[in-house]
A and B are shown apart, each in its own frame.
Chain A
Amino acid sequence: MSQLLEVKGLKKSFDVTRGLIKRKKQYLHAVNDVSFSVQKGEVLGIVGESGCGKSTLGNLIIQLLEPTEGEIIFDGVDLRKLPPEQLRKKREDIQMVFQDPFSSLNPRKRVFDIIAEPLKTHGSYNKVELEHEVLQLMDVVGLNRSYLNRYPHEFSGGQRQRIGIARAIALKPKLIICDEPVSALDVSIQSQILNLLKKLQKELQLTYIFIAHGLPAVKHVSDRIAVMYLGKIVELTTKENLFTNPMHPYTEGLLSAIPIPDPTARKDERRLLEGDIPNPVNPPTGCAFHTRCPYKTELCERVEPEFTEKRDGHFTACHHPLKEGKGIISQHEKY
């Protein structure tokens, strides 16, 4: 596998200074020194709770937001150094599927116009070819061809998300960023969309960055998973490793907080993370997680741990990484 995307030391801060007399500037470091890479054909899941910076990260990669610092090397070139015209061309190759299928589709456009828009902007098709292409895309995502001239309000959430996916794959992009693509949908529809995304990824050899707040959805589609907390990646490893041998206490907490749909597995004694997520404008010193960490020591309060490779391909930022076998799936269970 070759590398498709590399993110190096990426930072994004927002100025959140308030009041008329701006004596001291205040910044919110939404994404704070994040580095990772994505291989061709891989699905990288990014999870974290609200305010961890996962959506900002997605928006930075697709150039909807201007990074404060860092490099985004996509397909061999640093996107930040490209002149506008070339960047526009390059952006054909990165597409996005949004969370809310209700606000991400223009209500005044028909399905045909929505799916055809990227094709018109970036490609050169005549009318017949365009319609043929759109109809094919509708087949691929499982939309009935007869819906071609309908408007978004006539569709359910799941069908709208299919329209959004058709639009995203129209230009055969190299990378698709899925930002919470199923969290606004009903359970029975979520699995339809997850299965569709997975099928498309296999058939069209797509690469995804799959952003979600919950591990259940991410687990289903991802090869590797990055866990974010307060603007930083705290753990990054394969899906199997993350669920069987998590190293960061936050990952352990996230895993054990998920309610398991099996009443016989009710665990009253399980350890839950205490407290709230700290204010990102004023994050804790040292390790940002130390205020909620059950294993914290004096070192954690003082020194920020570095994000390093602790085992083969298993990165974490923690002074006291967990021993093996702390996950919710036993190592002996067959994958």
Chain B
Amino acid sequence: MNDILLEVKQLKTYFFTEDGIVPAVDDVSFNIHKGETVAIVGESGSGKSVTSLSIMRLIEEPGKIVGGEINFEGINLNKVPRMKMREIRGNRIAMVFQEPLTSLNPVFTVGNQLAESIKLHQKKSKKEAREIGIEMLRKVGIARPDKVYDQYPHALSGGMRQRVMIAMALSCSPKLLIADEPTTALDVTIQAQILRLMRDLIKELDTSILLITHDLGVVAEMADTVVVMYGGQVVEKADVFTLFKEPKHPYTKGLMDSSPKIHEWNEELVSIPGTVPSPFEFPIGCKFADRCPHVMNKCKEEIPSLIEIRKGQEVRCWLHSEKVVDLE
């Protein structure tokens, strides 16, 4: 677990729009170790998806990575030439998207799309690619994989499509799988199946996962380490047990209190007041200042920095600018 697979260091991705510059990802740093599952949690506009797209170098105009390093297996992806990136993308790092219907091409068969990356990255013949492809479909729990291989995406259910996407992503045994809201579009019983499948497969293939989600239930189920993002910044970072036991940032706490607790009775849900401001309306100081129940004058003036308050837990908040003393 000590080997770092991916190191994201002070990543900055800005969007240069007509209305002004949007710092969608602003100074984000985290590591992913071999075999580890790291979850990025945040609501819309938190920058979680832009972070993952930056790692894949899939940021398009008017967006641009303006600073920082993305070190993957010792290479800074931010500096890698385009052609070299194509060798890494889909091969060493693969991605599963939220919407399984729009991320599969409707005019090609499942097999056609599945074999594409196998042929390209593993230099296999069409026949070999078919065998590997069918084997992958079997691995992701699709019954009659040889039949599904020749079917078109529209003939499959949402859960099946997401299984195909996972088969496709894992077909080249990537070291890192980026899953951007992989189960959000699925029904809850299917979601549970897909999560279990992902957990089993990564154990088998020794793949690390970067999981992007807004659902704390999914985080608790899957993650080893959690990165909480708000307004393009990391506001808290901790291992999953510490985070759920002792969330320190008011936003993390608010997020936890506002998710419905299905396994206990509670009358009133606690909610975070207000909404995420538009990118141009964030406060000057702490980005959460407008919605924070503990806001102080200092918060409105100065951005707090991310401070390690104890081993393995970092918080960006003026309430926690000193180390806590563990009483254990």
Residues of A close to B21: CB separation below 8 A: none
A186 adjacent to B214 (CB under 8 Å)? yes
Give complex CA distance A195, B266 in Å: 12
Residue from A198, A213, A216 within 8 A of B187 (CB atoms): A213
B254 adjacent to A188 (CB under 8 Å)? yes
Residues of A close to B262: CB separation below 8 A: 215-216, 219, 243, 255, 258, 260, 328
Q: Which of A241-270 contact B (CB under 8 A)?
A: 243, 253-266
B268 adjacent to A257 (CB under 8 Å)? no
Residues of A close to B265: CB separation below 8 A: 329, 333-335
A273 adjacent to B219 (CB under 8 Å)? no
Give complex CA distance A286, B71 in Å: 57
Residues of A close to B244: CB separation below 8 A: 261-264
| With known contacts A156-B275, A253-B189, A262-B244, A191–B270 Cβ distance under 8 A | yes
Residue from A158, A220, A257 within 8 A of B275 (CB atoms): A158
A194 adjacent to B269 (CB under 8 Å)? yes
B263 adjacent to A265 (CB under 8 Å)? yes
B276 adjacent to A261 (CB under 8 Å)? no
Residue B206 at the chain A interface, CB threshold 8 Å: no
Total interface residues on A, CB under 8 Å, equals 47
Mark each residue of chain A from 180 to 220: 1 if its CB lies under 8 Å from any CB of chain B, else 0: 00000011111110110010000000000000011111011
Residues of B close to A256: CB separation below 8 A: 192
A191 adjacent to B258 (CB under 8 Å)? yes
B220 adjacent to A260 (CB under 8 Å)? yes
Give complex CA distance A158, B45 in Å: 14
| With known contacts A220-B269, A258-B217, A333-B265, A273–B189 Cβ distance under 8 A | yes
A261 adjacent to B189 (CB under 8 Å)? no
Residue A49 at the chain B interface, CB threshold 8 Å: yes
Residue B221 at the chain A interface, CB threshold 8 Å: yes
List the count of A-B residue pairs having beta carbons below 8 Å apart.
134
B264 adjacent to A186 (CB under 8 Å)? no
Residue from A188, A214, A217, A261 within 8 A of B272 (CB atoms): A188
Residue B312 at the chain A interface, CB threshold 8 Å: no
B240 adjacent to A257 (CB under 8 Å)? no
Residue B107 at the chain A interface, CB threshold 8 Å: no
| With known contacts A192-B271, A276-B190, A220–B221 Cβ distance under 8 A | no
| Shortest distance between the CB of B92 and any CB in chain A (Å) | 29
A187 adjacent to B258 (CB under 8 Å)? yes
Residue B188 at the chain A interface, CB threshold 8 Å: yes
B187 adjacent to A50 (CB under 8 Å)? yes
| Shortest distance between the CB of B203 and any CB in chain A (Å) | 11
Residue B104 at the chain A interface, CB threshold 8 Å: no
| Shortest distance between the CB of A104 and any CB in chain B (Å) | 18
Residues of B close to A276: CB separation below 8 A: 157, 159-160, 190
Name 18 extra pairs, CB < 8 A, besides A192-B271, A220-B260: A156-B275, A156-B276, A187-B214, A187-B216, A187-B259, A188-B255, A194-B269, A195-B269, A215-B262, A216-B260, A220-B269, A254-B188, A257-B189, A259-B221, A262-B263, A265-B220, A266-B220, A334-B265
Binding site for A on B (CB under 8 A): 43-44, 157-160, 187-193, 195-196, 214-221, 223, 240-241, 244, 254-256, 258-265, 268-273, 275-276
- Can you report 29 residue pairs joining A to B where beta carbons are below 8 Å apart? A50-B158, A158-B275, A187-B216, A187-B259, A188-B43, A189-B271, A189-B275, A191-B258, A191-B260, A191-B269, A191-B271, A191-B272, A192-B272, A195-B271, A220-B260, A257-B188, A258-B188, A259-B191, A259-B218, A260-B220, A261-B244, A263-B221, A263-B241, A272-B193, A272-B196, A328-B262, A328-B263, A329-B264, A333-B265
